[in-house]
């Protein structure tokens, strides 16, 4: 196995004997001069067909979070009757990292889609519940049970049909998503790479928002404080989200609640931070 490029100290891009590229994980794999040959004994896990835009996750999340994401991904592959993309480990790791960030800030989101997800995807929701217990135990984090819904949706989106990974963003909402991105770029001066993992993650969350708006469901955050309180900490993001809310209201005659705006501030802030760092 030829190790080509270091992603972090324990994760490298490799090429196997058949010429296929993969992501390999193992203690200390990233050390030393690359490219170099590595033995199978050095490799603990391999992931084929990983979308390159997801690789940035390995450089930002902790090994502990990645380990939990791998456990959840293994359960999904063993329990579900369909093939699950290797990308799910990386999207789950990113989701978990963000869940921990929200928990530290005492931002607990109640997902209106929870009942629908539980009824429509019972196996995936069960895995989401397992994931919440695993995160609490392994990472010593007090995350809410509602995170099971977001994790279940991550798994649903990783379902492979004829080699294609499903996407959460409906084609009918693509124009609105592009409008939102244009507003973010105009308001913040950050250029968003549409091919990046940060954009893909943001598009997925916007897809959930669009679903709630179309269904007339409000997000109940249960947060101590309000969107107005958060403006003091994120004034630029607050102005950006207000512009997004005005556009949504104008285009769809649908108002965003303060809780939706609060959630958007977090996601827009994270998108801009990631894109700024990657740029």
Domain 63-165 and domain 171-278 have a common topology? yes
Q: For the segment 2-41, what is each residue's pLDDT rounded down to a tens digit?
A: 999 999 889 999 999 999 999 999 999 989 899 999 998 9
Q: What is the mean pLDDT of residues 148-164?
A: 76
Look at the domain 63-165 and name its fold: PTS-regulatory domain, PRD (1.10.1790)
pLDDT digits (tens, 9 = 90+) for 254-267: 888 877 888 788 88
What tens digit of pLDDT does each residue of 224-245 get? 445 566 666 677 888 899 999 9
**DSSP secondary structure string for all residues of the chain:** -EEEEEEETTEEEEE-TTS-EEEEE-TTTT-SSSSEE--GGG-SEEEES--GGGGGGGGTS-HHHHHHHHHHHHHHHHH-SS-B-THHHHHHHHHHHHHHHHHHTT--PBPTTHHHHHHH-HHHHHHHHHHHHHHHHHH-----TTHHHHHHHHHHHTBEETTEE--SS-GGGHHHHHHHHHHHHHHH-PPP-TTSHHHHHHHHHHHHHHHHHHHTPPPB---SS-HHHHTTT-HHHHHHHHHHHHHHHHHHS-PPPHHHHHHHHHHHHHHHHHHHHH-
Q: Tell me, what's the pLDDT at 110?
A: 59
Q: State residue 196's pLDDT score.
A: 79
Residues above pLDDT 90, as percent of the chain:
35
Per-domain residue ranges of the chain: 2-48, 63-165, 171-278
Residue-averaged pLDDT of the chain = 83
Residue pLDDT, tens place only, 166-217: 443 344 578 889 999 999 999 989 898 887 778 877 887 787 788 778 777 6
Q: Which CATH number fits domain 2-48: 2.30.24.10, 3.40.50.920, 3.30.365.10, 3.20.20.70?
A: 2.30.24.10
Fold of 171-278: PTS-regulatory domain, PRD (1.10.1790)
What would the pLDDT profile of 98-149 be if each residue is shown by its tens digit? Answer: 889 888 877 766 565 677 788 888 999 999 999 999 999 999 998 888 889 8
């Amino acid at each position: 196995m030829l190790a080509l490029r270091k992603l972090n100290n324990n994760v490298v891009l490799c090429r196997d004997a058949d010429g296929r590229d993969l992501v390999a994980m193992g203690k200390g794999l990233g050390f030393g001069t690359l490219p170099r040959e590595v033995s199978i004994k050095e490799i603990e896990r391999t992931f084929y067909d990983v979308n390159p835009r997801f690789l940035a996750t390995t450089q930002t999340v902790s090994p502990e979070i990645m380990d939990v994401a791998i456990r959840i991904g293994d359960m999904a592959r063993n329990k579900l009757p369909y093939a699950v993309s290797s990308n799910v480990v990386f999207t789950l790791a990113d989701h978990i990292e963000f869940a921990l960030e929200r928990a530290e800030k005492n931002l607990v989101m109640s997902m209106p889609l929870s009942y629908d997800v539980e009824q429509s995807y019972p196996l995936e929701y069960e895995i989401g519940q397992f994931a919440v217990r695993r995160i609490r135990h392994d990472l010593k984090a007090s995350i809410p049970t509602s995170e099971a819904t977001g994790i279940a949706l991550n798994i649903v989106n990783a379902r492979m049909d004829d080699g294609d990974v499903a996407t959460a963003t409906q084609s009918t909402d693509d124009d609105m998503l592009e409008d939102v991105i244009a507003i973010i770029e105009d308001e913040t001066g950050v250029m968003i790479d549409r091919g990046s993992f940060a954009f893909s993650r943001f598009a997925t969350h916007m897809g959930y928002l669009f679903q709630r708006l179309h269904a007339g469901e409000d997000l109940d955050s249960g947060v101590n404080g309000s969107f107005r309180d958060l403006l003091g900490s994120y004034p630029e993001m607050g102005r950006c989200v207000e512009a997004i809310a005005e556009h949504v209201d104008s285009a769809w005659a649908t108002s965003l609640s303060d809780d939706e705006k609060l959630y958007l501030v977090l996601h827009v802030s994270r998108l801009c931070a990631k894109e700024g760092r990657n740029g």
